[in-house]
């Protein structure tokens, strides 16, 4: 795990800034609270995406004078892709009379489609999320799920592993088969939903 902070600027003209661990962050992405966002490596944040790392649990010190750069608000695993115009916003709720934010975890090889709003508590690995979805606060997406475009997952909903989910509100409409995420990765082969996203990450320039 490393942070995207030390950026190697090779040329000012590229769309993406590549970090030491191979993360690709679009220059047109909106990243708030950088120090609270962890990207494990080889992950992509595309143009127009908003990451609200500034929404994190305040340290126990009573005053607003926040110093704790060590608080993680958003952590993203390896080879995950956050597409254009997504919003990643840690969930919050009232706790002992105070609005408290909860850290969000996104696993490895997670694809989040364009324009999707994410306030989930966690998204496990090998999950494919279509475009224009809403993942309401505190929902939990277990591994190897497929969320079809335009789905609205209600808050606190738990989606069991291997589910195909659609609708407003979201319902489990099927199961991904044994072959979920299999194949792909080779030349001449399309990347596979739920599979290894590294070839796709590699191709994004």
Binding segment for other proteins (CB under 8 A), chosen from 2-10, 68-76, 78-86, 91-99, is: 78-86
178 binds other proteins (CB under 8 A): yes
Among 40, 143, 147, 165, binds other proteins (CB under 8 A): 143
152 binds other proteins (CB under 8 A): yes
**Per-residue mark of binding to other proteins, 109-138 (x: CB under 8 A):** --x-xxx---------------x----x--
Closest CA to 90 of 127, 22, 137, 28: 137
Site for other proteins in 93-112 (CB under 8 A): 111
Cβ distance to other proteins smaller for residue 58 or 142 = 142
Q: What values do phi and psi take at 36, rounded to 5?
A: -105, 10
For 88, the enclosing helix (H) or strand (E) is: strand 87-88
Cβ distance to other proteins smaller for residue 69 or 160 = 160
> Exposed, middle or buried, 114 (CB in 10 Å: 0-12/13-18/19+)?
middle
Coil, helix or strand for 163?
strand
- The residues, ordered by sequence, that sit 6+ positions from 72 with a Cβ below 8 Å of its Cβ are 36, 37, 38, 56, 103
150 binds other proteins (CB under 8 A): no
Give the Cα separation of 205 and 72 in Å (integer).
Answer: 28
Cβ distance to other proteins smaller for residue 58 or 199 = 199
The token pair at 115 is 């324009």
Residues in contact with other proteins by the rule CB under 8 A? 46-47, 81, 83-85, 111, 113-115, 131, 136, 142-144, 148, 152, 154-158, 160-162, 164, 168-169, 172, 174, 177-180, 182-183, 185-192, 199-200, 202-205
């Amino acid at each position: 795990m490393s942070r995207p902070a030390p950026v190697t600027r090779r040329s000012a003209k590229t769309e993406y800034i590549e970090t030491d661990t191979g993360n690709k962050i679009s220059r047109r992405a909106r990243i708030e609270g950088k120090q609270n966002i962890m990207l494990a490596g080889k992950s992509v944040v595309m143009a127009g995406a908003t990451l609200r790392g500034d929404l994190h649990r305040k340290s126990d010190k009573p005053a607003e004078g926040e110093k704790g750069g060590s608080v993680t608000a958003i952590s993203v695993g390896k080879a995950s892709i956050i597409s254009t115009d997504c919003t990643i916003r840690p969930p919050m709720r009232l706790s002992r009379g105070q609005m408290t934010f909860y850290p969000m975890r996104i696993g490895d090889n997670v694809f989040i489609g364009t324009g999707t709003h994410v306030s989930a508590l966690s998204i496990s690995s090998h999950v494919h999320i279509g475009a224009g979805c809403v993942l309401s606060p505190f929902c939990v997406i277990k591994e190897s799920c497929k969320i079809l475009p335009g789905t609205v997952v209600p808050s606190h909903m738990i989606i069991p592993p291997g589910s195909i989910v659609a609708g407003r509100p979201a319902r489990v409409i099927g199961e991904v088969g044994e072959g979920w995420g299999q194949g792909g990765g080779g030349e001449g082969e399309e990347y596979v939903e739920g599979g290894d996203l590294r070839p796709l990450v590699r191709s994004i320039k």
